[in-house]
Amino acid sequence: MKSKRILSALLAIALLVSLTIISRPGQKASAEVAGDVTAGSADGMNFVEIPAQGYTAKILLANDKLDSSQPVGEIISAGKAQGELSAAVVGTYFDAYTGTNETYGRLYQDGQMLNTKWYEANLVQFTDGTWRIVRVDYSAPSGKLHDLFPIDTIQMAVACGPHILENGINVVDTAYNDSFKNDSKMKGSAQRTVVGIKADGSLLLGEMNATFNQIAALLLARGCTDAIAMDGGASSYLWANGTTIQEAGRKLNNVIGFYYTGVPNLPESLKGFRDIPGNAWYVSDIAFAVENKLFSGLSATSFGPGMPMTRAMLVTVLNSYAGRPAPTLPNPFADVPNGVWYTNPVRWAYENNIVTGTAVGQFSPDMNITREQLTLILYKYKGSPAVSGAALKFADAGSVSFWAEDAVKWCYENGIVSGKSGNIFDPQGNATRAEVAAMLHRFVLLP
């Protein structure tokens, strides 16, 4: 059976294909890789973005000044938390209400209340891994966080202030922030550390010298819907990926550390990848591709499910799936050099009428494969079987190129492709690595 051949036939190119894929983005001004902590800067704000899944937080006791000689990561050895510390943000030291030094940031951890000092806005992680910023009216009879939520559902909570964003609205100047608003030090520009939550549940830890209203505008522009200030002035501290981004200028009583704990519901073969949500539609397809050596990840921690695949890569995978037969005809494409890793696979595919090129004498090996091109290549690999005369039912069926119509029909009729939301096929859209994995999974299992 062909699918059994994948284990041996494709092993030889797995590393080669993975090395030719676009490199994983580094630390830039946005988090392109969904599952990795990413640090960057934009518009005067240093920030760290933390994915919605795979991370948990612990409140760490920082009894001494945190500097390059004593990075936050060393606190792990004290048994305060387990896992790989990926990012940290300041907790607090100075009580802005009373003007005294107090440990007021630590509220809950692991289902236990740590103290009873309250502020209106609380950053809360629940035991299901989700994050919320919850405002509590502590002057009310039931003015405690555990009056709103059972204490055993709260993984970690810290209260500082002021509240910056609530449901996508700037709330800096609202009545419940009066205690901060009327403080000249809190009203003006200062070095501040903030935490924002985005609509997808991911977190943004930010640090900059600005007013709270200026910070609110930047957080909204970066997609945050809710945000809270952790502290300001000398206490501002931000750390990620082994690097101190903003060093604290004084002792800190609390630091919130974020630890990678793994994405739930992933099969064993994918547990190293941080950019695959456990509930994603493509989990089983990528697992099949990885386990059967169809293709591998971009790195040990990133698969790149949303990234494209090139025409040369796809043809190489199919050539190996076929048992790596050697071509016999000369190379017909001027843009396919002799002696490179995809030369023979492209020649073989041309000889067997699987590909014809993008123009006379041109194969375009580095061009991203489109969804309709992918269906055509798979269709031709199967020998261009007959298709029904039924019209395509996609809303954008009229956008399918005439040369791909039968291929799209055949792939749809055989369950290899399905539409996207809104009943579209998106024929000229790039086929992502997740989509390629899904289509190959269904393709190789055909009788």
**DSSP character string of 128-177:** TS-EEEEE--TTSTT-SHHHHS-GGGEEEEEE-S-EEEETTEE-TTSGGG
Q: Specify the pLDDT at position 283.
A: 92
What the block records as the tokens of 185 is 């030090």
Nearest 5 degrees, angle CA 377-CA 20-CA 373?
20
Spans of all domains in the chain: 2-24+265-444, 38-260
| pLDDT beyond 70 at 262 | yes
| pLDDT beyond 70 at 164 | yes
Whether 187 and 181 have beta carbons less than 8 Å apart is answered as yes
- Contacts with 368 (C-beta within 8 Å, 6 or more apart), sequence order: 308, 309, 310, 311, 430, 431
The segment with the largest mean pLDDT, out of 138-152, 168-182, 426-440, is 426-440
List beta partners, residue 30: none
| Distances 5 to 9, 65, 136, 295, 326 between C-alpha atoms, Å | 6, 59, 60, 14, 17
List the alpha helices (DSSP H) in 225-310: 283-291
| pLDDT beyond 90 at 259 | no
Of 71, 91, 41, nearest to 232 (Cα)? 91
Q: What is the pLDDT of residues 274-305, one digit of tens each?
A: 788 887 899 999 999 999 888 888 888 888 88
Q: Specify the pLDDT at position 175.
A: 64
* Residue 128's pLDDT band (cuts 50, 70, 90): confident
Q: Specify the pLDDT at position 55.
A: 81
Residue holding tokens 């405002």?
135
Q: What is the DSSP letter of 310?
A: B
Q: Specify the pLDDT at position 93.
A: 41
Longest dimension (CA), the chain: 85
**pTM of the model as a whole:** 0.61
The segment with the largest mean pLDDT, out of 80-89, 153-162, 307-316, is 307-316
Nearest 5 degrees, angle CA 95-CA 97-CA 100?
40
Q: Specify the pLDDT at position 178.
A: 63
Q: Give percent helix, percent strand, percent coil of the chain, each to the nearest 5.
A: 30, 25, 50
Of 275, 334, 336, 342, nearest to 312 (Cα)? 342
Q: Which residue has the higher pLDDT, 311 or 420?
A: 311
The CA distance from 439 to 426, in Å, is 15
The segment with the largest mean pLDDT, out of 41-45, 72-76, 101-105, is 41-45
Residues 404-410: contacts with CB under 8 Å, at least 24 apart: 404/372, 404/373, 404/375, 404/376, 406/379, 407/372, 407/375, 407/376, 407/378, 407/379, 407/380, 408/372, 408/375, 410/375, 410/379, 410/382, 410/385
Q: Specify the pLDDT at position 181.
A: 61
